[in-house]
Amino acid sequence: MQVSIETTSGLERRLTVGVPAEQIDNRADERLKEAAKTIRINGFRKGKAPLKVIKKQYGEDVRQEILGDVINTSLQAAFVQEKVQPAGQPKIEITQFESGKDLEYAAVFEVYPEITLASFDDFSVEKLTADITEDNIDTMVESLRDQQATLTVVERAAADGDSVNLDYLGTKDGEEFAGGKAEKQDLVLGSSSMIPGFEEGVVGLSAGDQKTLSLSFPDDYHAEELKGAAVEFSVTVNSVSEKVLPAVDEELLKKFGAEHGDLTKFREDIKKNMVRELATSVKNKIKTSVMDQLLEANKVDMPSALIASETEALRNQMMQQFGGMQQNKDLDLKSLLPDEMFKEQADRRVGLGLLLSEVVKDNNLTVEADRVTSTIEELASTYDDPQEVINYYNQNPQLKSGIESSVLEDMVVDLILEKATVTEKTVSYEDAVSKDS
């Protein structure tokens, strides 16, 4: 087998492979001999036709059938011979496949970049710490009460926090615009569901009141024709309802799984969950900081094939969230969900994947079984039957593989933190678990 390789540009390589005609013919003859046992040809009994006759009639078809296998086998051998690892599926160009002549083809593909990692000594990571106070627990209890709140119609003017049912009609230059009309729509005042000024304009109105609101759409509004546009909304209030919070009693506690009905124990359970949430949030913030600095310190050439593959995975993930969209064959999904939507996320994922692999390789890291086990046990502890969840993960290789990948990432972060400068900062519980901090 003859093999040559050349660099076409950047990470792209062109591998030219020549497979002797003898190898092709031998493979084809083997296939024909096997097929001859069952082939029926006019003038011969089943399985008794001479190989020469069978070859004349079916030889070219068999050559075409084995082409894929021959290319795949020879290509893998060529990769090993040239010590290259393709990033993505190679594009195959057959240049010669005539009977009696050597098979010649070219494979065009990208290789993984060579990476020399920057030192981790200059990394600086802030670790947030926070105490969970009784006030924090009180706030969480109030949040749980709010989830079970009911609405009661009241005969008074609407206030911030009330739910109003209303009709409205929006006009621009006296003409109704798309999406600007609704009937019997519920709206929580103070929820910022509507454009600025709308909810504030409804505060103080009672059932039966009508009012015209002169407002402007934000300059960054998603609809081009309404960006910064001056509009009017004619609003009619149908009803005003206030939120009624339930009492913190045995009935409420049972709705959140506390069958014991003991408030003290319930608050202890809440604190345990808050401790877990705090630890997860602090860990995620540290991980994000490390990953950001890893990307910033190491500029990597990324194979376009990997970017394309990751983009498609993200698009499919979004399609599944919409549910059923993929069944509509008339939709042009690439136009509806263009590559640009996923570029930043795809670039980040591919870049981090390459860098994390390099850290793992450079430091001979392997997944620690004990950490995998403890991670699964911790995850399972939040369920009613932890052992059932543990068994489910252990019996599902794909799910367990996901945990192993996460643990390996955590090991990379731990390794980097050993060399980075880590400072602690005490903040409130709310700030520590906030996504913005």
Same domain, residue pair 261 and 313:
yes
- What pLDDT does residue 327 have? 56
Residue 311 to residue 333: CA distance in whole angstroms: 12
- What pLDDT does residue 165 have? 98
Same domain, residue pair 222 and 342:
no
CATH number at residue 91: 3.30.70.1050
**Boundary residue ending a domain (244, 273, 298):** 244
- Backbone phi, then psi, for 185, in 5-degree steps? -95, 135
> Running DSSP on this structure, what letter comes out for residue 340?
G
In degrees to the nearest 10, what's the CA dihedral of 216, 221, 225, 226?
-20
Please, are residues 59 and 99 in contact by the beta-carbon 8 Å criterion?
Answer: yes
Question: How big is the chain, counted in residues?
Answer: 437
Based on C-alpha coordinates, what's the Rg of the chain? 33
DSSP string of 257-289, one letter each residue: T-TT--HHHHHHHHHHHHHHHHHHHHHHHHHHH
Please, are residues 378 and 279 in contact by the beta-carbon 8 Å criterion?
Answer: no
Q: How far is the first Cα of the chain from the last one, in angstroms, to the nearest whole number? A: 59
Closest CA to 9 of 231, 303, 278: 303
Same domain, residue pair 418 and 291:
yes
In a domain? residue 127: no
Amino acid 352 reads L
CATH number at residue 239: 3.10.50.40
- What pLDDT does residue 416 have? 97
Written as six digits, the tokens of 147 are 């989830």
Q: Which residue has the tokens 């996901």?
A: 402
In degrees to the nearest 10, what's the CA dihedral of 314, 315, 316, 319?
120
User: How many domains, the chain?
Assistant: 3
Same domain, residue pair 24 and 171:
no
pTM: 0.77
In a domain? residue 337: yes
Residue 17 structural domain: 2-110
Closest CA to 300 of 116, 119, 111: 116
**CA–CA distances in Å: residue 261 to residues 191, 252, 264, 270:** 33, 8, 9, 14
Closest CA to 374 of 397, 396, 390: 390
Same domain, residue pair 265 and 389:
yes
- What pLDDT does residue 97 have? 86
Same domain, residue pair 232 and 260:
no
> Running DSSP on this structure, what letter comes out for residue 114?
P
Burial 3-26 (b: 16+ CB within 10 A, else e): bebeeeeebbbbbbbbbebeebee
E runs forming strands in 25-162? 91-96, 103-110, 124-129, 150-153
E runs forming strands in 75-174? 91-96, 103-110, 124-129, 150-153, 163-172
In a domain? residue 408: yes
Same domain, residue pair 24 and 87:
yes
CATH number at residue 299: 1.10.3120.10
Same domain, residue pair 274 and 294:
yes
Give per-10-residue mean pLDDT for the chain (437 aa): 93 96 81 66 62 64 80 94 94 89 95 95 97 97 94 97 97 94 96 96 97 96 93 98 95 90 93 95 96 96 95 90 61 81 96 97 95 94 91 95 95 97 97 86
Same domain, residue pair 305 and 395:
yes
With vertex at residue 389, the alpha carbon angle to CA 387 and CA 395, rounded to the nearest 5 degrees, is: 100
Residue 307 to residue 313: CA distance in whole angstroms: 10
Same domain, residue pair 408 and 313:
yes
Same domain, residue pair 100 and 175:
no
Instruction: List CB contacts of 119: < 8 A, sequence separation 6 or more.
Output: 419
Residue 337 to residue 319: CA distance in whole angstroms: 9
H-type helices in 298-342, by residue range? 304-322, 333-336
Same domain, residue pair 86 and 34:
yes
In a domain? residue 121: no
3-state secondary structure of 181: strand
**Boundary residue ending a domain (189, 214, 244):** 244
With vertex at residue 151, the alpha carbon angle to CA 148 and CA 154, rounded to the nearest 5 degrees, is: 155
- What pLDDT does residue 330 have? 62
In a domain? residue 380: yes
Residue 230 to residue 217: CA distance in whole angstroms: 7
Please, are residues 189 and 158 in contact by the beta-carbon 8 Å criterion?
Answer: yes
3-state secondary structure of 121: coil
In a domain? residue 346: yes
In a domain? residue 231: yes
In a domain? residue 138: no
